Structure 1
Amino acid sequence: MSGTAAQRRAYTVVGGGAIGGTIAFHLAKAGHPVLVVDQDTEHVGAISDQGLGIRRPDGRVERQPVRAITPDGADALPATGGGLGAVVLAVKAQATDPAVRWIAPRLAEDGFVVSLQNGLCEEQIAAEVGERRTVTAFVNLFADLVAPGLIADGGAGALVVGELDGRVSPRVERLVTDLRAWGPAVAHPNVAGHLWSKQSYSVVGATSALVDVPIHETIEAHPDMTVALAREVYAVGAAIGVHPESFDHWEAGAFAVDAHLPYTRQVLADFCGWLRTQPKNKTGIWRDLAVRKRPTEVPAMLAPVLRLADDHGINCPGIRTVVRLIGELERGERRMDESNVTEVERAVSGR
């Protein structure tokens, strides 16, 4: 190993699925020592035996040697001079609490946890490790865990990193430099604005999982519902002083209450056109329901929004309906069907 490689920061990636696995692969490829910690023993075994694989859109599979363990295997961790230094947390939103409880006693005093998750998980993380050791981030990529040890490449996406107080600190700058091994990572003073914009899109993505069609088809068939759902999220964010940021082709300004309707419709059309170019046309929520037959992260992901809506007296009938319907799908009480989307449409229109 060269002197430069030897100085590269070591990373522990907790949650080796679509997001965590993608980041772990690229960090390792760039020469960083990487440890993946994941609950799935079959996934961990495949990574240990074959390396962590990325399947490119043309079908090529690249593999990178990466060390992987389950949380129970933590006793085998080597001494690290005071604990884990840089931790990338990439578990599903509902797994945040147990994951952070696992991390906290192992985290170095000068270490940190950066959340590359869906939802608003930083408050839970900071409650365990402290705000000083919590870094906030927004990530949007279209990867998929398609088999143990193998992730389908999601192509270029967006990754924004910052401190909880909005500073772009030296550790954020270094982290961003490292994460550029994956793609276009940037430091930004308003990560919260990006996270709330993703929440607005995530509600729409969750709605698309209520019926077995690509995301863009749901938006194109139900543009007014899409706008109404996004506005519910943005209204709650505005109540706590969040200034929304745009990402990819999701233009936050198009969902303002006073936005010019032709502008909003054009933004939705452009966004759907961009979605058509992506290698993945359905959400991880859909995959959890239709393929993996397991609970989704939707209730945990949207719980902070609904809690804040209650605190500020904001009505969110669309979000509440989506969460309820997802729960019924998880429990096998209903099937993926267009009538589910119609129910959300009725909720946002007050019918």
Structure 2
Amino acid sequence: MRIAIVGAGAIGGYFGANIIRAGLDVTLIDAWPEHVEHVRRHGLTVEGMSGNTSLNVKADIRHVGDVQGLIREPAFDVVFIAVKSYDTLWATQLILPYLAEDGVVASLQNSLNEGEIASIAGSERTYGCAITALACELREAGLVRRHSPTGSVSVGAIDSKNRANCEVIAGILNHAESSVAIDNLIGVKWSKLVINAMRNGLSAMTGMTGLERDTDPVTIELGMRLGAQAVQVGRALGYELVDTGFSFDTLVATASGDCDAIRIIRSRMAEISGARSSDQRPSMAQDIRKGRRTETDAINGLVARLGREVGVDAGANQKVHETIQRIERGELQPSPALAAGIV
């Protein structure tokens, strides 16, 4: 079996290194030249939470400009798309000519990008992976650091008839994190999006670490509001949500001022962040610090956009989305005061 991972950053690099360590045939593809050159010369390193080196592997890594050379090699059986959501279309189009006739493509990303992949690769070949509780960061060229103690992956198909391939994909990913095949792909993916909506944008907007964000009264309140709105939008869309990190019924109850619900969710937020590295920042906050575009369109922006379509108030998500866009354009600087302005 030949495997390709398009996007060898935090998540693609983390899974790629572990799959390579297991002895599978993996080709990594990335757009950052310095990262590609470092990995070619020194290998790909993954550090644990305490900064200790967990593994270093020699990896077959190609720059996107080298991909056309794959025409002289056997086709890929499984391709993972691990780029940012806004890069999904070109990444899928880039690798499609090198996919075997019976090969499959799986999203290893935030948000719901399987529809875009399916528009190019076909729904019968498209799969999605919902990653839960795993936090990683590409610290520098060639170096990925893990920030969470545990993680898991749920693998599902766009076409429900293709469950057998879900088992194959889960088997590959199981070399890195506990992975299972599921039937309810969109429900589980939206459930993960709830967590991203209440955490990623807040850290990007405020500059806070996960621990700072989940122990500050203002960002706790706003985070609960963002999460409750995301749950309500998902349910209005008819998705079968599953509690991910929090009881979603309890999370929704916080929106009406239920004191017991607020106490339970506050405690759970602190518990989750307390188990992670103290300097952990979610992906959107990492992007802001590096001066890169974030995935706000595919997270808080998506919740707000679909909320309008189904008549559910997602105004807090819209305000966070607009604020992050202004930070991306250089009109604002990340600050906790921005969260206070929304609350």
Match of 1:50 among 42, 55, 59: 42
Q: Do structure 1's residue 233 and structure 2's residue 230 form an aligned pair?
A: yes
Q: Residue 338 of structure 1: CA displacement?
A: 2.0
Q: Residue 87 of structure 1: CA displacement?
A: 0.5
Q: What residue is the counterpart of 1:349 in the other structure? A: none
SS at 1:117 equivalent = coil
Q: Does the 8 A contact of 2:229 with 2:252 survive in 1?
A: no
Q: What residue is the counterpart of 1:196 in the other structure? A: 190
TM (normalized to structure 1)?
0.88
Question: For residues 44-69 of structure 1, what are the alpha-carbon distances to aligned partners after superposition, in whole Å with 9 as ceiling and x for unaligned?
Answer: 11111111111223433321111001
Question: For residues 262-304 of structure 1, what are the alpha-carbon distances to aligned partners after superposition, in whole Å with 9 as ceiling and x for unaligned?
Answer: 14521331232121111253212112112x1111111234444
Q: Does the 8 A contact of 1:167 with 1:189 survive in 2?
A: no
SS at 2:94 equivalent = helix
**Structure 2: how far apart are the matches of 1:16 and 1:65?**
13
Q: Do structure 1's residue 74 and structure 2's residue 63 form an aligned pair?
A: no
What letter corresponds to residue 283 of structure 2 in structure 1? G
Q: Does the 8 A contact of 2:303 with 2:314 survive in 1?
A: no
What letter corresponds to residue 250 of structure 1 in structure 2? F
What letter corresponds to residue 211 of structure 1 in structure 2? T
Q: Does the 8 A contact of 1:12 with 1:87 survive in 2?
A: yes
**Structure 2: how far apart are the matches of 1:194 and 1:122?**
13
**Structure 1: how far apart are the matches of 2:174 and 2:339?**
38
**Structure 2: how far apart are the matches of 1:304 and 1:324?**
12
Match of 1:169 among 140, 151, 163: 163
**Structure 2: how far apart are the matches of 1:108 and 1:343?**
52
Contiguous gaps of at least 5 residues in structure 1? 1-8, 346-351
Q: Relative to 1, partners in 2 of residues 1:101 and 1:302: Cα closer, same or farther, differing over 3 Å?
A: farther
Q: What residue is the counterpart of 1:334 in the other structure? A: 332
Q: What residue is the counterpart of 1:211 in the other structure? A: 206
Q: Relative to 1, partners in 2 of residues 1:298 and 1:282: Cα closer, same or farther, differing over 3 Å?
A: same
Q: What residue is the counterpart of 1:41 in the other structure? A: 33
SS at 2:280 equivalent = coil
**Structure 1: how far apart are the matches of 2:224 and 2:48?**
33
Q: What residue is the counterpart of 1:27 in the other structure? A: 19
**Structure 1: how far apart are the matches of 2:42 and 2:128?**
32
**Structure 2: how far apart are the matches of 1:218 and 1:178?**
34
Question: For residues 195-252 of structure 1, what are the alpha-carbon distances to aligned partners after superposition, in whole Å with 9 as ceiling and x for unaligned?
Answer: 21222221222113221322243333134322221122122211221121123x3332
Q: Relative to 1, partners in 2 of residues 1:333 and 1:306: Cα closer, same or farther, differing over 3 Å?
A: same
Q: Does the 8 A contact of 2:208 with 2:336 survive in 1?
A: no
Q: Does the 8 A contact of 2:197 with 2:299 survive in 1?
A: no
What letter corresponds to residue 254 of structure 1 in structure 2? T
**Structure 2: how far apart are the matches of 1:130 and 1:97?**
13
- The number of equivalent residue pairs is 334
**Structure 2: how far apart are the matches of 1:110 and 1:274?**
40
Q: Relative to 1, partners in 2 of residues 1:16 and 1:172: Cα closer, same or farther, differing over 3 Å?
A: same
Q: What residue is the counterpart of 2:144 in the other structure? A: 151
Contiguous gaps of at least 5 residues in structure 2? none
Q: Does the 8 A contact of 1:47 with 1:66 survive in 2?
A: yes
Q: Residue 78 of structure 1: CA displacement?
A: 5.6
Question: For residues 80-124 of structure 1, what are the alpha-carbon distances to aligned partners after superposition, in whole Å with 9 as ceiling and x for unaligned?
Answer: 54x322001110111111111212232222111111101111111
Q: Relative to 1, partners in 2 of residues 1:194 and 1:328: Cα closer, same or farther, differing over 3 Å?
A: same
Match of 1:318 among 305, 316, 319: 316
Instruction: Calculate the aligned-residue CA RMSD, in Å.
Output: 2.1
Q: Does the 8 A contact of 1:168 with 1:188 survive in 2?
A: no
**Structure 2: how far apart are the matches of 1:34 and 1:282?**
28
Q: What residue is the counterpart of 2:273 in the other structure? A: 275
Q: Do structure 1's residue 14 and structure 2's residue 6 form an aligned pair?
A: yes
Q: Does the 8 A contact of 1:200 with 1:230 survive in 2?
A: yes
Q: Residue 165 of structure 1: CA displacement?
A: 4.4
Question: For residues 22-81 of structure 1, what are the alpha-carbon distances to aligned partners after superposition, in whole Å with 9 as ceiling and x for unaligned?
Answer: 000010000001111000011111111111111223433321111001121012226454
Q: Do structure 1's residue 255 and structure 2's residue 251 form an aligned pair?
A: yes
Q: What residue is the counterpart of 2:283 in the other structure? A: 284
**Structure 2: how far apart are the matches of 1:202 and 1:344?**
18
* Range with greater deviation from structure 2 (293-302 or 122-131): 293-302
**Structure 2: how far apart are the matches of 1:56 and 1:231?**
32
**Structure 2: how far apart are the matches of 1:306 and 1:343?**
18
* Range with greater deviation from structure 2 (137-146 or 273-282): 273-282
Q: Does the 8 A contact of 1:122 with 1:136 survive in 2?
A: yes
What letter corresponds to residue 74 of structure 1 in structure 2? V
What letter corresponds to residue 250 of structure 2 in structure 1? A
Q: Relative to 1, partners in 2 of residues 1:78 and 1:329: Cα closer, same or farther, differing over 3 Å?
A: same
**Structure 1: how far apart are the matches of 2:101 and 2:302?**
28
**Structure 2: how far apart are the matches of 1:111 and 1:302?**
33
Identity %: 25
What letter corresponds to residue 121 of structure 1 in structure 2? N
